[in-house]
Amino acid sequence: MTRVVVRRAPGKLFIAGEYAVLEPGVPAILVAVDRWVTVTVTAADHGVVVVSDLDPREARYSRDDLADATGPVGSAIGVVVDLLAERGLPVPPMRVEIGSDLHEDGVKYGLGSSGAVTVATVSAVAEYCGAPLTPLDRYRLAMLATARLDPRASGGDLAASTWGGWIAYRAPDRAAVLDLAARVGVDKTLRAAWPGFAVRRLPPRARSPWPSGGPGSPCRRRSSSRSSTSPRTATSSAPAPTASPPPSTRSTVATAPRCSTASAPPGGCSPTWTTRPGWACSPRP
């Protein structure tokens, strides 16, 4: 019987600290949304075959290709392959298919599709190869894959895609983590302390304080063949790590400012959403 592994990860919204969190140990608040990237792994004849709904053409990777991958999917597969090699596990030929609710007609919504596809790919490929991951290991492998491509990336989107719901997040020192992996390998890096890193769950808000297209918002997504629902909070059953929690802080999230462009009605939406194709605004009642 053909083995099939399916994993998915949600997109994210930054509520506060999107730029501050680039510094190790500085907090940010994020929430996962109910739009997902789904990764399906099945058998292939040889090598690794990747197919995405953004590009119907097949991409084929050898082991050497994965070491120099330039995209999030290739990097995610590559870091899992490194882990398998260190654990003495084989890498079977596989086909990796990617589908996403985080874009429409090739236009991304800006809800963290790269982070979501990285987390879902790491999880699906590791499971297919016989190396199931804890949520913390899933995040850490995704962070290593992302930092290999962009050492400045905070990984907040990866945390939201891993644990779901509302989270407070502090980024690790990516340079230190990459150096550690280069010295001791991926497997030992997963078990080591990561300086600056912390994540904890926050209680969900009953009502979103920013215009994200949800109920009661002046921004609503136009209907389409893909979906007519708006982003909402996505939750995960995976517990956030309890080790080394960040100190308790009180944060107030202000309502996002409304746009004042000529195309927006009085009391219209945040520019973040009005500039996205496929969205329309109407004034608040």
Instruction: Quick: pLDDT tens for 63-95.
Output: 777 777 778 999 999 999 999 999 999 999 999
Give how far the C-alpha of residue 211 lies from the chain's centroid of Cα atoms, to the nearest Å.
Answer: 21
Q: pTM score > 0.85 for this model?
A: no
Cα(156)–Cα(141) distance, rounded to whole angstroms? 14
Residue 89 token pair: 């596990």
What is the topology classification, in CATH, of domain 5-205+231-241? Ribosomal Protein S5; domain 2 (3.30.230)
Sequence ranges of the domains in the chain: 5-205+231-241, 256-285
Task: Report how far apart the first and last C-alpha atoms of the chain are (Å, whole number).
Answer: 57
CB-based contact 35:12 (threshold 8 Å): no
- pLDDT at res. 240: 62
Closest CA to 156 of 138, 168, 141: 168
Instruction: Quick: pLDDT tens for 27-63.
Output: 999 999 989 999 999 999 988 999 988 777 788 888 7
Mean pLDDT, residues 270-277: 36
CB-based contact 14:168 (threshold 8 Å): no
Q: Is the pLDDT of residue 233 over 60?
A: no
CB-based contact 79:122 (threshold 8 Å): yes
Q: Is the pLDDT of residue 266 over 50?
A: no
Cα(39)–Cα(125) distance, rounded to whole angstroms? 9
